[in-house]
Amino acid sequence: MRPGGGTVILTVVQFKEKLAAAVQRNDSLLCVGLDPDPAQMAIEDVAAFNTAIIGATKNLVCAYKPNVAFYEALGRKGWDALERTLEAVPDHIPVIIDAKRGDVGNTAAAYAKAVFDVLGADAMTINPYGGRDSVEPFLERQDKGVFVWCRSSNAGAGDLQDLEVGREGQGRPLWQVVALRARDWNAAGNVGIVVGATYPAQLAEARALCPDMPILIPGVGAQGGAVEEAVKAGIDASGAGIIVSASRGITYASKGPDFAEAARRAALRLRDEINKHRRTAVGAAGPS
């Protein structure tokens, strides 16, 4: 019974609290990327496929990360599948929409609305190229997580990101300047960075530049990033602070009717491997 005339207190769940709770509950730093590829899926219905993957892995992950591109490639039924996929994620597991959006202010506000309000996601990835006022509409959503694309996981990542930036940056590569900007943008504690697992040296440097910020690490598995190097390079002083994302290696572990069970086995293996290196890394850094 609600107390008569009382005030209804709404507690807004912060992304970082939700993430921390999921990390603890599932003892996991693993994020599963949900990137539908009809050519690799045992069943045609994208939302049903994802729902099966989620059902099989929901006690093994700290987050799910659908990349919008793979839904948009399916046209109007793709957006529908994305909405239905998000409905299948348990309330206690955060969803990070991988969208890498960036545009001028009023357009960025529309993207923030699309991801945070229409889809109801907990966090998203953004592209920093438009500068401070272009990322402001995302940062303003203090209950949501905002991951700035910093060092990408592709082979040509360095093409622009490694360019040495003069004067202000004092000879830093561009991606480090972006990491420092992301740190500046983190006044409300809702900002993280994206650094590919394929570049562990840069990952270690990113951790040094942003000691307290979550790092989303794609590129494990199909893109060739090694788990041990990524975990050791990225882990924070508390033995957490990284979200290790794998997509195809989990969701298409089997292309047959046992895809969900195969995904579960692959996720379990990867979660445990991350935890093994996580504990070693923390042990190594801890008091001797």
Catalytic residues, by residue number, are 100
Min dist CB 52 to a copy of itself, Å, is 21
CA 247 – CA 96 distance, rounded (Å): 13
CA 264 – CA 285 distance, rounded (Å): 31
Nearest by Cα to 197 from 222, 228, 218: 218
Min dist CB 151 to a copy of itself, Å, is 10
Which residue has tokens 């909405």?
83
Contact between 168 and a copy of itself per CB under 8 A: yes
Contact between 132 and a copy of itself per CB under 8 A: yes
Give the x/- contact pattern for a copy of itself in 226-265, rule: CB under 8 A.
----------------------------------------
What would you report as the CA-atom Rg of the chain, rounded to the nearest whole angstrom? 19
Residue whose CB is less far from a copy of itself, 96 or 281: 96
Contact between 164 and a copy of itself per CB under 8 A: yes
Query: Candidates 22-30, 88-96, 107-115, 207-215 — which segment interacts with a copy of itself by CB under 8 A?
Result: 107-115
Question: Are the CB atoms for 188 and 142 separated by under 8 Å?
Answer: yes
Residue whose CB is less far from a copy of itself, 102 or 236: 102
Contact between 50 and a copy of itself per CB under 8 A: no
Residue whose CB is less far from a copy of itself, 4 or 166: 166
Question: Are the CB atoms for 197 and 23 separated by under 8 Å?
Answer: no
Q: In 3-state terms, what secondary structure has residue 150?
A: strand
Residue whose CB is less far from a copy of itself, 71 or 278: 71
Query: Candidates 5-13, 54-62, 153-161, 263-271 — which segment interacts with a copy of itself by CB under 8 A?
Result: 153-161
Give the x/- contact pattern for a copy of itself in 61-90, rule: CB under 8 A.
------x-xx-xxxxx-xxx--x-------
What element of type H or E holds 74?
none
CA 216 – CA 282 distance, rounded (Å): 19
DSSP letters spanning 186-245: TTTS-EEEEE-TT-HHHHHHHHHHSTTS-EEE--BSTT-B-HHHHHHHH--TTS--EEEE
Of positions 17, 87, 159, 258, contacts a copy of itself by CB under 8 A: 159
Which residue has tokens 């040509």?
156
Contact between 38 and a copy of itself per CB under 8 A: no
C-alpha distances in Å from residue 114, one per residue of 6, 68, 146, 268? 34, 11, 14, 32
Count of residues of this chain found to bind a copy of itself when the rule CB under 8 A is applied: 63
Q: Tell me the residue type at 54.
A: I
Contact between 140 and a copy of itself per CB under 8 A: no
Nearest by Cα to 126 from 111, 106, 143: 111
| Binding interface with a copy of itself (CB under 8 A) | 35, 67, 69-70, 72-76, 78-80, 83, 98, 100-105, 107-108, 110-111, 113-115, 117-119, 127-134, 149, 152-161, 163-169, 171, 174, 177-178, 181, 218, 223
